[in-house]
Structure 1
Amino acid sequence: MDILSIVPPIVAVVMAIITKRVLFSLFISIWVGGLIAAGGNPFEAVGQTFTWMKDVMVDPWNARFLVMTALLGTGAAFMFKTGGSEGLIKILQKRLTTKKRVLFLPYFLGILIFFNDYVNSVIVGNATKDITKKHKISREKLSYVIDSTAAPMATIGPVSDWIGFQVSLIAAAFASLSIVGMEPYFVFLQSIPWNFYAILCLLAVPMIIAGKDFGPMAKAEHRAHTTGKLIPDGSTPLSSVEQDLGEPFQKEGSVWNFILPLVTLISVSIWGLWYSGGGATGKSMMDALADTDVSVALTWGAFAMTTVGIILALVQGMGLKKCEDTLLGGIRTMLPALIIIVLAWSIGTVTAELGTAEFVVSATEGWMTTALIPFLVFAISMFISFATGTSWGTMSILTPIAIPLAYTMGGEELIPIVIGAIFAGAIFGDHVSPISDTTVMASIFSESDHIAHVNTQIPYALVPAGIAGVMYLLYSLIGSSIILLIVGIVVQFFLLRYLGNRHEKKFGEVG
C-alpha cells in the first residue's frame, strides 16, 4: 500500500478528460497499473494488462452483465425498428410542448423506476431520447437527468437490489461487532435522511430544469438550441440506433410496440430479483433482494424483452433475415459501451490489486475525530468511488471499516449517520467518474458522447456534493438531519439560481 496505488485511476481520469478518448485512456491506465505491479518491466506490464482484462471477462457476474447489456441493446433495437419509439413520441408530443416539460419526463420516469439503476437508464433513455431530440435538447442534458435519478433513486428505495445489497453489508458489519438489538434494515431506513448527496442530487434536477443552466452544460444547450447539434463536433455517441439500424421497418408503428417489451423487461426483472434471491422459498422481499443475483435476474428480463420484440416484429411481417439483422445491429450499438465496461472493470481490478482503497483509508485514519468522522467518511468514499468507478465496490470496502469505527467512537447513534455518508460519497464518485459503469450506461441510452456527459455533469454534481460536505461538518453542531436537509435544500436552490443567472448575464446564452 503506497502512493503509487492511486496513479492508475488518476491517469485514466486525467487522460480521458484531456484527450476525450476514453478507450485509449483506460487501456493506458491499466498498462500503467501493470507497470507498477511488474516492478517497472514494460513487457510484463502488457501481459499483466491482458490477464486482468481476461479475468474480468470470465468472472460469472461480469460475463452475464455483458450478455445482459447486449440483450438490452437488441431489445431497444426492436422497439425502434417496429416503430414503437415513434408511436410513443406521437402520444407524448401532444402534451409535452415545451423543453422544460419534455425534460421533466425523464426526471419523473427516473423517480418511478427505482428498483434498478441499469434498467432505469434503459427505460428512461429509450422513452425520451427521440422526443428530446425533436425539442433540440442536448444529449449531455438528457444523460445528466438519467444519471442523476438512476443511482440516487435506487439507493434510497423504497425497494431495490441496491437496498438489498446495502442492508446485507450493514448486517455483516453488525455481526462482526456482535451488535444485538439493532435491526439492519431499520438502521438503513434511519440512514436515508443522512444520505445528503442522493437527496440533494434528486432535488437539484428539477431546480436546474425549471431554472437556468450554467458552465459547460449551458454551452451544450446553447449549441443544441441554435445549431440543432445534439452532441459536440468531433465527438462520438456511445450508441446510435439510427446509424446502426437504419430506418424503422414500421414508421407508423403502435406505441404498444414500445410498451409491451418495456412492461416485459420490468415485470420479468422484478420477478427475477425476487426468485433468484430465494423468494419462492418463503423469504421476505428484502431478504430475497439481499441474496439475489442481479446479473441473472436482469439477463432474464433483457432476454424476455428481446423475445417480445422479435414476436412483435414477426407479427408485423418482418422476415427472419431482417430480425437477425436487427439483433446484430442492436449488439453493434452496444459494442463501444461493452469495451468501455470491460476496461473500466479492469481498472477496478488494478486498484484492488494495488490496494488503492486501503492506502486512502490508512492515509486518513490519523485525522479521525468523532465530529469529523461523517465528513471524512464522505470524502474518502467520494475519492475511492471516483478512482475505482464503482459505488458498490466502495460500499463493500468502507462499510466494514466505517461502522465499527463509528460504533467505537460515537456509539449506536453515529452508525446511521456514517452509513448515510458512505452511500452518499459512493454515489457522488460513481456519478462523476468517467470509468463508472452507471455513467457509461447513462451515456449509452441517451446517445451522448461519454466524455461530454462527464464534463457537463461534474459542475452540476459538485453543487450538491459541496453542500453535503458542509452539512456533514455541521452535524455535531446541528444534530437533526431534517434541519440540515431543509437548510441544504434552500442553499442549493439559491446557489443554483445564482449560478444560472450569473452565466446568463456573462454569456447571454439560452438554455
Structure 2
Amino acid sequence: MDFLSVIPPIVAVVLAILTKRVLFSLFISIWVGGLIAAGGNPFAAVGLTFTWMKDVMVDPWNARFLVMTALLGTGAAFMFKTGGSEGLIRVMQKRLTTKKRVLFLPYFLGLLIFFNDYVNSVIIGNATKDIAAKYKVSREKLAYIIDSTASPIATIGPVSDWIGFQVSLVAAAFASMSLVGAEPYFAFLQSIPWNFYAILCLLAVPMIIAGKDFGPMARAEHRAHTTGKLVPEGSTPLSSVDQDLGEPHKKDGSVWNFILPLVTLITVSIWGLWYSGGGAEGKSLMDALADTDVSVALTWGAFAMTVVGIILAVIQGMSLKSCEDTLLGGIRTMLPALIIIVLAWSIGTVTSELGTAEFVVAATQGWMTVALLPFLVFVIAMFISFATGTSWGTMSILTPIAVPLGYTMGGEELIPIMIGAIFAGAIFGDHVSPISDTTVMASIFSESDHIAHVNTQIPYALVPAGIAGVLYLLYTVVGSSIVLLVAGIIAQYFILRYLGNRHERRYGKAG
C-alpha cells in the first residue's frame, strides 16, 4: 500500500476533465494501473487491462446490470416510438407554464421515486427531458437535478435497496463488535439526521431552482436560453433517443404509452426486490431488502417494461420489423454508457488490486481524535468514493472499520454519527465523480454531455459538502443533529443566495 495506488483514479479524473473524452481517459487510467501492478512492463499492463475488463463483464451481478441497462434503453425507446413521450408533454404543458415549474417537475419526481437510484434516473430523464428542452433548460441543469435526487433520496428514503444494503453493513459491523442488544435498522434510522450531505443536497436543488444559478451552470443556462443549444458546442451527449430512433411512429400517441411501461417498471422492480430477497418466504420487508438481489429485480422490471412497450407498439400498428429496429435502436442509445460503465468498473478493480482505499485509511488512522473522527471519516469517504466511483464500495470498505473505531473511541452514542458520516461522504464522492455509474446514468437520461454535467455539478455539490464538513467539526460543541442540520440549512440558503447574486453582479443576468 503506497501512494502509487491513488495514481490511476487521479489520472482518470484529470484526463477526463482536460480532454473531455471519458472513454479515452478511463482506458488510459486502467492501463496506468496495469503498469503499476506489472512493475512498469507496458506489454504486461495491456494484458492486465483487458483481463480486468473481462473479469468485470463476466461477474454475474455486473453482467445482469449490463443487460438491465440495455433493456432500460429499449423500454425508453418504445416510450418514445409509440408517442408516449409526446403525449406526456401535451398533458404537462397545460400545467407547466414557466421554466421554474418545469424544473420542479424532475425534482418532485426524484423525491417520489426513492426505491432505486438507477430507476430514478431512467424515469425522470424520460419524463422530463423533452418538456425541459421546450423551455430551453440546459441538459447540464436537468442532469444536475436528476443526479442530486437519485442517490441522496435512495440512501435516506423510507424503503429502498440502498437501505437494505446499508443496514446489512451495519449489522455485520455490530456482529464483529459483539454488540448485544443494538438493532441495526434502528441505528440506521438514528443516523439519517447525521447524513448531512444527502439532506442538504436534496434541499439545495429547490433553493437553486427558486434562486439564481452561478458558476459554469449559469453559463450553461445562459447558452441554452440565448442560443437554444442545450449542450455545449462540440460536445457529445452520451445518448440521444431522437437521433437513434428517428421520428415517433405516431406523434399524437397517448400519454398511456408512457405511463403503462413506467408503472410496469416500478411495480415489477419493487415486487422483484421483495421476492428475490425472500419476501415470499415470510421475511419482513426490511430483511427482504437487506438480502435482495438488486440486479435480478431491476432486470425483471426493465424486461417487463420493454414487453409492455412492444405490446403497445403492436396494438398501435407497428410492424414486427419496426419493433425489432426500435429494440436495436434502444440498445444503440445505451452503447456509450455500457462501455463507460465497464471501464468505470475496471477502475474499481484497479483500485482494489492496488489497495487505494486501504492506503487512504492507513494514512489518516494514526492522528484521529474523537472530536475529529466524524469529519475525517466523512472526508476519507468522499475521497475514496470520488476516486473509485462507487458509493456502495466505499460504504463496504469503511463501515466495518469506522463503526467499531467510533464505538471504541466514543461509545455507543457515536455510532449513528459515524454511520451518517460514512454514508454522507460516500454519496458526495459518488455524486461528483466522472467515473461514477450514477453520474453516468444522469448524463445518459438527460442527454447531457458527461464532462459538461460533471463540471457544472461540482460547484453546486461543494456547497452542501462544505457545510456538512463544518457541521461534523461542530458535533462535540452542539451535540444535536437537528440543531446542526437547521443551522446548516439556513447557512446553505444564504450561501447559495450570495453566490447567485455575486455571479449576477459580476456577469449580469446574461451569466
Q: Is the 8 A contact 1:277 1:287 kept in 2?
A: yes
SS, match of residue 249 in structure 1: coil
Paired amino acid for 1:166? Q
C-alpha displacement of 1:509: 3.1
**What is the CA deviation profile of residues 422-441 of structure 1, one whole-angstrom value per residue up to 9, with x for unaligned ones?**
00000000010000000000
Equivalent position of 1:109 in the other structure:
109
CA drift at 1:510: 4.3
1:223-238 equivalent positions in 2, closer than 5 A: 223-238=223-238
Letter of the structure 2 residue corresponding to residue 357 of structure 1:
A
The question of whether the paired residues in 2 share the 8 Å contact of 1:218 and 1:509 is answered with: no
Unaligned runs of 5+ in 2: none
Q: How many angstroms apart in 1 are the aligned matches of 2:157 and 2:211?
A: 27
**Residue 181 of structure 1: aligned partner:** 181
Alignment of 1:46-445 (within 5 A): 46-445=46-445
Q: Give the whole-Å Cα distance in 1 for the aligned partners of 2:401 and 2:171.
A: 13
Identical-residue share of aligned pairs (%): 87
Offset from partner CA, 1:445-494 (integer Å, 9 cap, x none): 00000000000000000000000000000001010000000100000000
In 1, Cα distance between equivalents of 2:331 and 2:211: 38
Cα distance, 1:181 vs structure 2: 1.2
> What CA distance in whole angstroms lies between the structure 1 residues aligned with 2:259 and 2:348?
36
Q: 1:508, 1:349 → 2: CA distance?
A: 46
Q: TM-score, normalised by structure 1?
A: 1.00
Q: Secondary structure at the match of 1:476?
A: helix
Question: 2:166 is matched by which residue type in structure 1?
Answer: Q
Q: Is the 8 A contact 1:219 1:509 kept in 2?
A: no
Q: Which residue of 1 aligns with 2:479?
A: 479
The superposition leaves residues 205-238 of structure 1 with CA deviations (integer Å, 9 ceiling, x where unpaired) of 0000000000000000000000000000010000
Corresponding residue number in structure 2 for 1:446: 446
Compute the RMSD of aligned alpha carbons. Answer: 0.5
Distance between the aligned counterparts of 2:369 and 2:45, measured in 1?
41
- Give per-residue Cα distances to partners, 1:298-335, cap 9 Å, x unaligned: 00000000000000000000000000000000000000
Q: TM-score, normalised by structure 2?
A: 1.00
Structure 1 unaligned residues grouped into runs of 5+: none
Q: Distance in 2 between matches of 1:208 and 1:346?
A: 35
What amino acid maps onto 2:233 in structure 1?
D
Once the two structures are TM-superposed, the CA of residue 270 in structure 1 deviates from its matched residue by 0.1
CA distance in structure 1 between the aligned counterparts of 2:367 and 2:88, rounded to whole angstroms: 55
* Residue type at the aligned position of 1:231: V
What's the offset of the Cα at 1:157?
A: 1.3
Structure 1 CA distance for aligned equivalents of residues 104 and 471 of structure 2 = 28
Q: Which residue number in structure 2 is paired with residue 34 of structure 1?
A: 34
Structure 2 CA distance for aligned equivalents of residues 425 and 299 of structure 1: 29
Distance 1:311 1:380 in 2: 49
CA–CA distance in 1 between the matches of 2:141 and 2:385? 23
1:133 counterpart letter in structure 2: A
Q: Which whole-Å CA distance do the structure 2 matches of 1:506 and 1:181 have between them?
A: 58
2: distance between equivalents of 1:181 and 1:123?
Answer: 41
CA distance in 2, matches of 1:278, 1:330: 32
Partner Cα separation in structure 2 for residue 382 and residue 503 of structure 1: 27
Deviation at 1:367, TM superposition (A): 1.5
Q: Distance in 1 between matches of 2:177 and 2:350?
A: 30
Separation in 1, partners of 2:311, 2:200: 43
Q: How many angstroms apart in 2 are the aligned matches of 1:315 and 1:360?
A: 57
State the distance in 2 between where 1:234 and 1:115 align. Answer: 36
Distance 1:510 1:268 in 2: 46
SS in structure 1 of the partner of residue 502 of structure 2: helix
Q: Which amino acid aligns with 1:493?
A: Y
Partner of 1:503: 503
Amino acid in the other structure paired with 1:497: R
CA distance in 2, matches of 1:253, 1:170: 48
1:201–1:461 Cα contact (<8 Å) kept: yes
Q: Would you identify which runs of 4 or more consecutive aligned residues in structure 1 move more than 6 Å?
A: none
